[in-house]
Amino acid sequence: MTYPRYVFVWVALVVLTAITVTTASLNFGRVGILIVLAIAAVKSTLVLLYFMNLLFEKRLMFKILVPIAIGVLTIFIALTYTDVLYR
């Protein structure tokens, strides 16, 4: 990584923020939340891969940590949703 690459990632993050805010004011209704969350996921992936250096990490241990945490959270959320939806 070099300075210009870091700046490029930052520009991408700012542009994505602008897109999120614009999307929200366009009012996509129910799909809006999905678009906004997808953009947030892309932004955090950029931060994880480039700023937190996971892209250049050679050790498997570090590469699997975040997917594990996201997996656990997904299970929590999915199970809770089925409970709330079919109550």
Partner 1 sequence: MSSSHSTSADIQGEGVRARLGLWLFLLSEILLFGGMFLLYAMYRYKYAPDFHAGSQELSRFDGTLNTIVLLTSSLTVVVALHSLHVKHNVRRTAIFLAATIALGLTFLVVKSFEWTAKFEHGLYPGAKFLLSQSHGLILFFGLYFTMTGLHALHVMVGMGVLSGVLNFVLRGKITPDHVTIMENGALYWHLVDIIWIFLFPLFYLIT
Count of positions on this chain that bind partner 1 (CB under 8 A): 43
> By CB under 8 A, is residue 19 in contact with partner 1?
no
CA proximity to 39, closest of 70, 76, 57, 14: 14
39's tokens: 């953009």
Query: Taking CB under 8 A as the rule, does residue 55 contact partner 1?
Result: no
65 contacts 32 by C-beta, under 8 angstroms:
no
**CA–CA distance, 29 with 59 (Å, rounded to integer):** 42
| Least distance from partner 1 to the Cβ atom of residue 3, Å | 6
Q: Is the separation of the CB atoms in 54 and 80 below 8 Å? A: no
H or E segment to which residue 53 belongs: none
* CB 62 to partner 1: min, Å: 6
Q: Which residues make up the interface to partner 1 (CB under 8 A)?
A: 1-3, 6-7, 9-10, 13-14, 17, 20-21, 23-24, 27-29, 32-33, 36-37, 39-40, 43-44, 47-48, 51-52, 59, 61-62, 65-66, 68-69, 72-73, 76-77, 80-81, 84
